[in-house]
């Protein structure tokens, strides 16, 4: 099992870190990608090693074509790539009202959250198709970490919402295109998860959860998402592709 290789973008912190550790516990070798937090990524790799699994730490900006190529090469050096988790993502640096959003913030968020993952997936898909045709490794899987923001409007971070709506269609498109090769593609759609990304709005979300925003009245934790990744990575959904797994405490339910 330990030769199964997974690439997790943004594996240094938050949800990505949780995914890396869950995969490591199940014996996967992981590529822990990060952008700036080198020390955090090293610590995740050390935790992986302490669990008896292997990890390679790779700095790369998912928004850069040259970095993506280097990242994929580093993963392929470890063996057939059986799992890609497109997790890296960012909120806008400044929450600005939709009527004031800048073009630079729009471009940055779309590049990291959608354009980068799209072209990373396209690159990895070619490698996975070759592996399948060569009979190397098991059936590859791709998991995109989307968000409830794909459908829930937040007018002070519209670029984030648009990027996650794009991730939903990206999942559908690759699921459709790659099915003939036995490569299934899924979206996990987290709700409110306690990480650095949400720490800036902790009080607001504390209050909203207390008031019943979600039927399950608690914050999600990275491990909630990681457990869903693991369930999919085990290969127990062979006749499902393009599926969206809501990991959101029931946020998506319409209620009366």
Residues involved in catalysis = 160
Beta pairing, strands 5-8 & 184-190: unpaired
Helix (H, G, I), strand (E, B) or coil at 81: strand
Residues 36-55 that bind ligand NAP (CB under 6 A): 36-37, 40
Among 88, 170, 178, 226, binds ligand NAP (CB under 6 A): 88
Which C-beta is closer to ligand NAP: that of 89 or that of 249? 89
Which C-beta is closer to ligand NAP: that of 114 or that of 132? 114
35 binds ligand NAP (CB under 6 A): yes
C-alpha closest to that of 109 among 96, 90, 128: 90
Among 6, 24, 112, 128, binds ligand NAP (CB under 6 A): 112
Half-sphere exposure of residue 144: CA atoms within 13 angstroms, side-chain side: 35
Among 16, 80, 158, 166, binds ligand NAP (CB under 6 A): 16
Long-range contacts formed by 107-110: CB under 8 A, 24+ apart: 108/63, 109/159, 109/160, 109/163, 110/159, 110/162, 110/163, 110/166
Residues 164-203 that bind ligand NAP (CB under 6 A): 190, 192-193, 195-198
34 binds ligand NAP (CB under 6 A): yes
Distance CA 77, CA 216 (A): 42
Q: Which residues bind ligand NAP (CB under 6 A)?
A: 9-10, 12-16, 33-37, 40, 61-63, 87-90, 112, 145, 147, 190, 192-193, 195-198
């Amino acid at each position: 099992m330990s030769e199964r290789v997974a690439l997790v973008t943004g594996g240094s912190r938050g949800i990505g870190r949780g995914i890396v550790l869950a995969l490591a516990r199940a014996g996967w070798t992981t590529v822990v990608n990060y952008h700036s937090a080198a020390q955090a990524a090293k610590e995740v790799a050390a935790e992986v090693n302490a669990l008896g699994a292997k990890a390679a730490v790779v700095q790369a900006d998912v928004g850069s074509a040259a970095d993506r190529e280097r990242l994929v090469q580093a993963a392929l050096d470890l063996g057939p790539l059986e799992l890609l988790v497109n997790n890296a993502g960012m909120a806008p640096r400044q929450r600005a009202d939709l009527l004031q959003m800048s073009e630079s913030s729009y471009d940055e968020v779309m590049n990291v959250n959608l354009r980068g993952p799209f072209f990373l997936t396209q690159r990895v898909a070619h490698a996975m198709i070759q592996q399948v045709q060569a009979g190397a490794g098991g059936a590859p899987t791709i998991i995109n970490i989307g968000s409830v923001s794909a459908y829930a409007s937040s007018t002070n971070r519209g670029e984030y919402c648009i990027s996650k709506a794009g991730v939903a269609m990206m999942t559908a498109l690759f699921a459709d295109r790659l099915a003939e090769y036995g490569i299934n593609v899924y979206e996990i759609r987290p709700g409110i998860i306690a990480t650095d990304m949400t720490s800036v709005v902790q009080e607001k979300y504390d209050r909203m959860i207390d008031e019943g925003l979600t039927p399950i009245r608690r914050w999600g934790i990275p491990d909630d998402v990681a457990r869903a990744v693991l369930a999919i990575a085990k290969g127990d959904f062979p006749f499902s592709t393009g599926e969206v797994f809501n990991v959101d405490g029931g946020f998506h339910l319409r209620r009366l």
